[in-house]
Amino acid sequence: MSARRLFFGIGLPEPLQQQLVRWRAEQFPEEAGRPVAAANLHITLAFLGDVSDEKAQGLQQLAGRIQQRAFNLDLDDAGHWPRPGVVWLGCRQAPRGLLQLAEMLRAQAARSGCHQSPQPFHPHITLLRNATRPIALPPRNFHWQFRVTHFSLYQSLFSQGRTRYRCLQSWPLSEIP
Ligand code: 2AM
């Protein structure tokens, strides 16, 4: 049976992707790591791994039942995880809506047999990969905000040496007060 590498995540508005890429180019020297392509900047909510079409359908149905409010996300934190070699952007205080959404998707994934990392969820946007050497992080004088109005299921594709994420389906978050 065919299996696709899938994850639930939050995409970024394109103007923000462009801003982040410009900022990254100013802040980090080339040797710091491999920059993630602008279109690939995202926040992973739940990583599913290689999933059969049948299992993906079940997960899509469950995702459609989630009732969750839209929320604002403040990007005001950055960090470096030397072991996986990741430089990331995140939030000093993650909004409750984000944590609840990830918690639900991760619980549904676990119940459907997708192994979930035992590490606590730390929402982040990976900016650089292969960043295994010590680096100086930029001063924390940056702040971007965007409204998260939907979440999506993505397929991770790798071809011709490049990773690309294809959005398979999106679900809206409610704006009702
Ligand atoms: P990362 O950005 O922290 O590397 C698609 O591969 C997305 O799923 C990436 O954002 C990646 O997170 C995340 N991901 C990949 N493999 C993972 C794993 N084994 N556990 C959790 N998240 C993973």
CATH number for the domain spanning 96: value is 3.90.1140.10
Residue 96 is assigned to a structural domain of this protein: yes
pLDDT of residue 68: 96
Residue 119 is assigned to a structural domain of this protein: yes
Considering only CA atoms, which residue is closest to atom 21 of ligand 1? 47
pLDDT of residue 72: 98
**Average pLDDT score, the chain:** 97
pLDDT at 4 over 70: yes
Residue 97 is assigned to a structural domain of this protein: yes
pLDDT of residue 121: 97
- With a 6 Å cutoff on the Cβ, whether 119 touches ligand 1 is no
Residue 177 is assigned to a structural domain of this protein: no
What range defines the domain where residue 82 resides? 3-172
Cα–Cα separations (whole angstroms), residue 104 to 97, 114, 133: 11, 13, 35
Residue 143 is assigned to a structural domain of this protein: yes
Residue 138 is assigned to a structural domain of this protein: yes
Q: Name the band, by pLDDT with cuts 50, 70 and 90, for residue 73.
A: very high
What pTM value is reported for the model?
0.96
pLDDT at 177 over 80: no
Residue 121: partners with Cβ closer than 8 Å, 6 or more residues away: 99, 102, 103, 106
Rounded mean pLDDT of 164-169? Answer: 98
Q: Is 150 a catalytic residue?
A: no
pLDDT of residue 2: 86
Q: Is 124 a catalytic residue?
A: yes
Query: What domain count does the chain have?
Result: 1
Ordered DSSP codes for 121-170 = P---EEEEES--S--PPPPS---EEEEE-EEEEEEEEEETTEEEEEEEEE
Considering only CA atoms, which residue is closest to atom 3 of ligand 1? 126
pLDDT at 115 over 90: yes
Rounded mean pLDDT of 87-106? Answer: 98
Residue 53 is assigned to a structural domain of this protein: yes
Segment 34-60, tens digit of pLDDT? 999 999 999 999 999 999 999 999 999
Report CA(6)–ligand 1 centroid distance (Å).
10
